Structure 1
Amino acid sequence: MITNQQQIQQAESSAMKIRRQSQLLSSQLQSIRERLYEPEAAKSLKTFTSREVAALLGIAESTLRQMSLDGESAIPDRQDNGRRIYTLHQVNQIREHLAQKRPNEALVFLPRRRAGDKLQVVAVANFKGGSAKTTTTVHLAHYLAIRGLRVLAIDLDPQASLSAMFGYQPEFDVDENETVYAAIRYDDRRRSVHEVIRRTYFAGIDLIPANLELMEYEHETPHAIADGYGRGDEIFFRRLLTVISEVEADYDIVLVDAPPQLGYLTLGALCAATALLITIHPAMIDVASMNQFLAMMSDLMGVIEKRGGTLSHDFIRYVITRHNPNDGPQVNVVTLLRSLFKEDVLAPAVAETTAIASAGLENKSLYELSRGVGRDTLSRALESVDSVNREIFHHIKNVWGR
């Protein structure tokens, strides 16, 4: 006997079925988010202990305690057990205070770019799924913000995974014309980029979120080129660069999570970028896919340069992700990449760890995780991610002449 539900399903077209399942999943994801972040259904950043703050600032914990007793700079809250806890906003206030108090160490306490330092636009790219592109982007954003830098994260991926990591579910929280598409579109509905930038719960990080409307740019650009948008700043590969230049004074670093394909958005990201990170999982099938990505990218870059585009990156680095150093085939792949690309492969690699997977289940980075994994597991994972981010930041500071 055929049930009513079976009759409905038989009558559905594939499009109708997929749409219905998408709506069911979206509703469930929203429900899960509300349970995770009750009662406001919004993410919030953890606080930091005195020991953590002292380590971040590079000062003795006793010095920090004395500053608190003297009412110097930010005054922390106290837990029931009397321990002092600081928000990241308060940590940044202390950074600014110490930078003014000790001008010779100002760059140590507050390593933001100074007058004359070039804004760093770092694009994270690859079109192979599973390369940890978004995870790399969010961990780098959090690492830099914890160190006092002002970061703008731009989600260029219509799948909006980066937006979700910052607590924005694209179907519910990002309306029409609220992505970067609004600032680079070709018609009279174009908006200022200032109108689509959102503050996040993570002090020091702003976000331009994504949703499926970004695909419109891929569809419209060929028609726009045919209609004459093919010169100067109006050409497709300069539009994102023009948008970023409008907010250059507000940030130290812009991170761009590029789409997993070589479309017009990705080419715009490559042209806007001052640096490029290519994520790679060390398996032969992933390396073969990356090779195709590199071949296609070089061909398209050549086309852009013939059209007057300038592609010059301060550094290009390959980031080894999800690496298991006890896996022989993976070790062989990493050895191959290092022998071919030399110093262009970051020396540290992101280890494959259950900690990152556990954090991902809650749409968190390791820097936000306080439960769910063992302390030792979390410490080893953080050491791995910190090493990678520290080297990337080292390259950025080299560009700034430090």
Structure 2
Amino acid sequence: MTINGRVSATPESSADKISRQASLLSAQLQSIRERIYEPETSKTLKTFTSKDVAALLGIAESTLRQMSLDGESAIPDRKDNGRRIYTLEHIGQLREHLARKRPGEALEFLPRRREGDKLQVIAVANFKGGSAKTTTTVHLAHYLAIQGLRVLAIDLDPQASLSAMFGYQPEFDVDDNETVYAAIRYDDRRRPIREVIRSSYFHGIDLIPANLELMEYEHETPQAIAEGHGRGDGIFFRRLAAVISEVDADYDVVLIDAPPQLGYLTLGALCAATGLMITIHPAMIDVASMNQFLAMMSDLMHVIEDRGGVLNHDFIRYVITRHNPNDGPQINVVTLLRSLFKDDVLAPAVVETTAIASAGLEKKSLYELSRGNVTRDTLNRALESVDAVNAEIFRHIKEVWGR
């Protein structure tokens, strides 16, 4: 551009500016990840002490020590000071060994599905930002895996927050056709779901990561409906359930981190789910938003049922998150929700705590956080809160399994 005989630079367009800033931020996030996870530049899980393992298994620490001395089951590693340390994989081996050794207590040691038990598919949903949807999903996944269950986590949100919690940066680590979109797309590039499932660093959890290509499903579904992809398992709201059924025997629980909007992906998650967890931050503006979410979801569910969809969830529960039990307005909101929805609101709530915020900075759950990151009391209070919520959800799962 020439102004008064002088050449000036062409102004940067908004699209170019945002693209440049996105690239800058992406490169910086990659650099931060490499520093956090060095030297491997990928996530690893902490180890567990004998005391931790004994508490998880419900046995005496002396029994665990004797098993180690006798060479029974998993042999722990040792630190330089001679203390035994166990990986989560070691704990899984111990669970299987104790379940065989004490058949009367097998379900306590290894509470996996038995023959005839239905795969539990739990969708975690809300379209209000800040409701801790992904935080709830990742903590539940980690908790269930620590209890010995086989978990498949599906990141259905194009923003890929759950994938990031498992150590994946979507633009670097998740290529084209490597999300669940690959298994539910409508064209000839469709892949079996097993091909997009990844083992994670967290023993017992597999992951299907996300990236922006999931938005393609939202764009393509209306055209697919118009072209006749509207019958049987091929209809958009049954496609996710159909591909999950292909790996039914491999898992005990499938967790779906649903997108924060009621699009075709979320409707697929609702139809695939056997249980629904709705996260809610107890502030009046969040409750008002959830009211619109529930109204829209109800309308769309009726449309799906009219098209032959079946929506009979084993349980629907509301999870209070980021709760400050000393905040008067929050207490009033929680009281309102409990008076309206009764037992559908989980009795325990996840408290607002710096421990979860500190863990999030490192893309960790509380179950991965070292005790040096926050004070012991802060971490213990946070764990007590999250454990109580996850134990209640696990109880609902076991009730479905008739236990």
TM-score range, shorter chain: over 0.9
1:377 corresponds in structure 2 to 378
2:319 corresponds in structure 1 to 319
C-alpha change, 1:9 and 1:259, in structure 2 (3 Å) is farther
- Within 5 Å, which residues of 2 pair with 1:147-162? 147-162=147-162
Whole-angstrom CA distance in 1 between matches of 2:190 and 2:8: 42
- Within 5 Å, which residues of 2 pair with 1:378-393? 378-393=379-394
1:4 corresponds in structure 2 to none
2:4 corresponds in structure 1 to none
Q: TM-score, normalised by structure 1?
A: 0.98
1:400 corresponds in structure 2 to 401
1:233-268 Cα offsets, whole Å, 9 max, x none, are 000000000000000000000000000000000000
Contact 1:283 / 1:333 at 8 angstroms: preserved in 2? yes
- Within 5 Å, which residues of 2 pair with 1:207-356? 207-356=207-356
Q: Which amino acid aligns with 1:298?
A: S
- Within 5 Å, which residues of 2 pair with 1:29-178? 29-178=29-178
Whole-angstrom CA distance in 2 between matches of 1:48 and 1:12: 53
1:2-41 Cα offsets, whole Å, 9 max, x none, are xxxxx99962111111110000000000000001111220
Whole-angstrom CA distance in 1 between matches of 2:81 and 2:168: 35
Q: Which amino acid aligns with 2:320?
A: I
C-alpha change, 1:9 and 1:165, in structure 2 (3 Å) is farther
Contact 1:321 / 1:351 at 8 angstroms: preserved in 2? yes
1:170-215 Cα offsets, whole Å, 9 max, x none, are 0100000000000000000000100000000000000000000000
1:349-389 Cα offsets, whole Å, 9 max, x none, are 00000000000000000000003111110000000000000
Q: Secondary structure at the match of 1:317?
A: strand
C-alpha change, 1:287 and 1:246, in structure 2 (3 Å) is same
Any stretches of 5+ residues in structure 1 without a counterpart? 1-6
Contact 1:9 / 1:17 at 8 angstroms: preserved in 2? no
C-alpha change, 1:252 and 1:8, in structure 2 (3 Å) is farther
Once the two structures are TM-superposed, the CA of residue 122 in structure 1 deviates from its matched residue by 0.2
Q: Which amino acid aligns with 1:348?
A: P
Q: Secondary structure at the match of 2:238?
A: helix
Q: Which amino acid aligns with 2:384?
A: E
Q: Percent identity?
A: 84
Q: Which amino acid aligns with 1:178?
A: E
Whole-angstrom CA distance in 2 between matches of 1:72 and 1:227: 60
C-alpha change, 1:391 and 1:71, in structure 2 (3 Å) is same
Q: Which amino acid aligns with 1:382?
A: L
Whole-angstrom CA distance in 1 between matches of 2:40 and 2:227: 46
Whole-angstrom CA distance in 2 between matches of 1:332 and 1:163: 35
Whole-angstrom CA distance in 1 between matches of 2:85 and 2:324: 36
Q: Which amino acid aligns with 2:86?
A: Y
Once the two structures are TM-superposed, the CA of residue 80 in structure 1 deviates from its matched residue by 1.3
Q: Secondary structure at the match of 2:357?
A: helix
Whole-angstrom CA distance in 2 between matches of 1:261 and 1:172: 25
Contact 1:158 / 1:210 at 8 angstroms: preserved in 2? yes
Any stretches of 5+ residues in structure 2 without a counterpart? 1-6
Q: Secondary structure at the match of 1:121?
A: strand
1:37-67 Cα offsets, whole Å, 9 max, x none, are 1122000000000000000000000000000
Q: Which amino acid aligns with 1:388?
A: V
1:3 corresponds in structure 2 to none
Q: Which amino acid aligns with 2:206?
A: D
Q: Secondary structure at the match of 1:349?
A: coil
Whole-angstrom CA distance in 2 between matches of 1:330 and 1:166: 31
1:300-351 Cα offsets, whole Å, 9 max, x none, are 0000000000001000000000000000000000000000000000000000
Q: Secondary structure at the match of 2:237?
A: helix
Q: Which amino acid aligns with 1:194?
A: R
RMSD (Å) for aligned C-alpha atoms: 1.0
Whole-angstrom CA distance in 2 between matches of 1:22 and 1:8: 25
Whole-angstrom CA distance in 2 between matches of 1:155 and 1:77: 33
Whole-angstrom CA distance in 2 between matches of 1:254 and 1:260: 19
Q: Secondary structure at the match of 2:122?
A: strand
Contact 1:156 / 1:259 at 8 angstroms: preserved in 2? yes
Whole-angstrom CA distance in 1 between matches of 2:167 and 2:31: 13
Once the two structures are TM-superposed, the CA of residue 81 in structure 1 deviates from its matched residue by 1.4
